[in-house]
Copies of this chain bind each other. A is one copy, B any other.
Amino acid sequence: MNARERINVMPEFNMLIVDCDVLVRENGRYTVRREYDIAIRGNRIVALAPTGQLDPAHSELCIHADNCLAIPGLINTHTHAAMVLFRGLAEDVPIEVWFNEYIWPLESNEEPEDIYWGTLLAIAEMIQSGVTTFADHYFFCDEIARAVEESGVRAHIGWAVFGHEGEEKLRQTAEFAARWQGGAGGRITTWMAPHSPYLCDESFLRKTAAYAKALGVGIHIHCSETPEQVALSLKQYGVTPPAMLARAGVFEVPTLLAHGIALTPEDIALVRNHDVAIAQCPKTYLKLAMGTAPVRAFLEAGITVGIGTDGAVSSNTLDVLEQMRLLALDQKQAAKDSTVMPLQTVLDITFRGSAAALRAPDLGEIAVGKLADIVLLRQDSARLFPTHDPLANLVYAAQASDVDTVICDGQLLMRHGRLLTIDLPRVRAEVSARLERLSQRAAERRIATYPTM
């Protein structure tokens, strides 16, 4: 075959991942297939077969993955990515101090360019941790979108806004949503992102819902993080936060509630009747002693639940595998029952649930026709042997740093631990140059105030 002939032969696949174990979902249950190949064309998975059946010669690129477990790219359904800039700056403090004396004074220092570099640092961490999609709820979102576009990951971005910032600011966040919807070759989805019922009043939320309806986008919002917030809502509105959101029309568009720790049984009955999903970030709840969300009640009611990391100032990492494990551990402990939140349920929340929470059914599964977001986890650590139960190893023994290779939208973002789309030393240098200014704290210069009873 001469050079001209080679050029004329169109390869059947753009990428073939060869000889890995693969986490798949069959008849509603997760299982691991041994010695399988995964074929990718464009940004889709087009074949899945026992090793030997697909011809590597028919692929542009061949990824040898023996001794790796392929899992769907992890999905982070709730984060404030650029908060990695402040990692470690607010330890061992109560939640109201955390907001009023740390986070919101610190965030008053942020300028758009900080968010670009902070988001790139966060994306680098997420890729290193096997996260290919994140739902970001933060500020200066054009900078976030630029970082997403350049780094090759997938993101659901909402521009966080407080009621006190006013209608003109709300309109600007809607303009962002319109501007970037479907951006980065379809990798960006936008949402409206009012901060919370306690910092956005009912009228502001009604206007937000109107924008969301007009744009055909969803709403991503914090809700019922603590019993105190519920008490405050009852005092201010006469109803719980979800009931106020429903009254304001928020639940008339696809809604993603972050946390919902203090949802009541009546709230759960309300939520289940609308298109509302809930993101769970248990490391934050444990670290800030916020209590345990009634996740089993959510699931029993048929509500979609996904996993998030929250920001790195509460969770310290953007590690979805760790949050998955902590969800199971915290739920078992709170229920005083080690049989709750079994492996199948934990995996279902992490993969199918998180994809559904972002209304992205083409994510979260390695199957023909799904988007090609795939992570290869090295299996050679002593910690992952023996493999009596590969699902138990994945949930309770795998670590973010087992991630060897990351593929998003059919493109390689990391191979053998080397980031291919982000110049991490450059990002670290840019972030370092900003840290002194960013870490100033002046309580009178804060972007919002956490209300207490």
Interface set of A (CB-CB < 8 Å, partner B): 84-89, 91-95, 98, 121-122, 124-125, 128-129, 283, 285-289, 291-292, 315-319, 326, 328-330, 332-333, 335-343, 381-383, 385-390, 392-393, 396-397, 399-402, 424, 427-428, 431-432, 435, 439
Q: List 19 A-B contacts (CB under 8 A).
A: A85-B386, A87-B388, A87-B393, A88-B392, A88-B397, A92-B339, A92-B343, A98-B338, A121-B385, A122-B382, A128-B381, A283-B329, A286-B329, A288-B338, A316-B393, A381-B401, A386-B435, A399-B400, A401-B402
Tell me the minimal C-beta distance from A425 to chain B in angstroms.
9
Interface centre among A88, A285, A329, A388, by most B CB within 10 Å?
A: A88
* Copy total for this chain: 2
A382 near B292 with CB under 8 A, answer no
B388 near A86 with CB under 8 A, answer yes
Known: A393-B87, A397-B87, A400-B399. A386 touches B93 (CB 8 A): no
- Taken together as a complex, chains A and B put the C-alpha atoms of A124 and B381 apart, in Å, by 9
Known: A94-B338, A333-B330, A339-B92. A431 touches B316 (CB 8 A): no
Q: In the complex, which of the residues B89, B125, B129, B289 contacts A338, with contact meaning CB atoms closer than 8 Å?
A: B289
Instruction: Give chain B residues whose Cβ lies under 8 Å from the Cβ of A401.
Output: 381, 399, 401-402
Instruction: Give chain B residues whose Cβ lies under 8 Å from the Cβ of A382.
Output: 84, 121-122, 124-125, 128, 424, 427
Instruction: Give chain B residues whose Cβ lies under 8 Å from the Cβ of A328.
Output: 287
A129 near B383 with CB under 8 A, answer yes
Smallest CB-CB separation from A344: which chain B residue? B92
Known: A128-B383, A383-B317, A400-B383. A336 touches B91 (CB 8 A): no
A396 near B316 with CB under 8 A, answer yes
The 9 closest A-B pairs by CB, nearest first: A88-B389, A316-B396, A88-B392, A125-B382, A401-B401, A286-B329, A124-B382, A92-B342, A289-B338
B88 near A386 with CB under 8 A, answer yes
- Taken together as a complex, chains A and B put the C-alpha atoms of A285 and B439 apart, in Å, by 38
B317 near A397 with CB under 8 A, answer yes
- Taken together as a complex, chains A and B put the C-alpha atoms of A125 and B384 apart, in Å, by 9
Smallest CB-CB separation from A292: which chain B residue? B333
- Taken together as a complex, chains A and B put the C-alpha atoms of A397 and B337 apart, in Å, by 28
| Other A-B pairs beyond A84-B382, A124-B382, A318-B383, 12, CB < 8 Å | A88-B388, A88-B397, A92-B339, A92-B343, A287-B338, A289-B332, A291-B333, A292-B333, A316-B397, A319-B383, A330-B333, A386-B431
B286 near A386 with CB under 8 A, answer no
A388 near B439 with CB under 8 A, answer yes
Instruction: Give chain B residues whose Cβ lies under 8 Å from the Cβ of A286.
Output: 329-330, 332-333
Q: In the complex, which of the residues B288, B341, B389, B431 contacts A89, with contact meaning CB atoms closer than 8 Å?
A: B389
Known: A332-B289, A333-B289, A333-B292. A88 touches B387 (CB 8 A): yes
- Taken together as a complex, chains A and B put the C-alpha atoms of A339 and B289 apart, in Å, by 9
Q: In the complex, which of the residues B129, B332, B336, B432 contacts A386, with contact meaning CB atoms closer than 8 Å?
A: B432
A335 near B289 with CB under 8 A, answer yes
Instruction: Give chain B residues whose Cβ lies under 8 Å from the Cβ of A89.
Output: 388-389
- Taken together as a complex, chains A and B put the C-alpha atoms of A337 and B292 apart, in Å, by 13
Interface centre among A86, A129, A388, A427, by most B CB within 10 Å?
A: A388
Instruction: Give chain B residues whose Cβ lies under 8 Å from the Cβ of A389.
Output: 88-89, 91
Tell me the minimal C-beta distance from A140 to chain B in angstroms.
19
Tell me the minimal C-beta distance from A58 to chain B in angstroms.
33
- Taken together as a complex, chains A and B put the C-alpha atoms of A239 and B128 apart, in Å, by 53
Q: In the complex, which of the residues B387, B390, B435 contacts A388, with contact meaning CB atoms closer than 8 Å?
A: B435
- Taken together as a complex, chains A and B put the C-alpha atoms of A86 and B291 apart, in Å, by 33
Interface centre among A92, A389, A392, A424, by most B CB within 10 Å?
A: A92
B339 near A381 with CB under 8 A, answer no
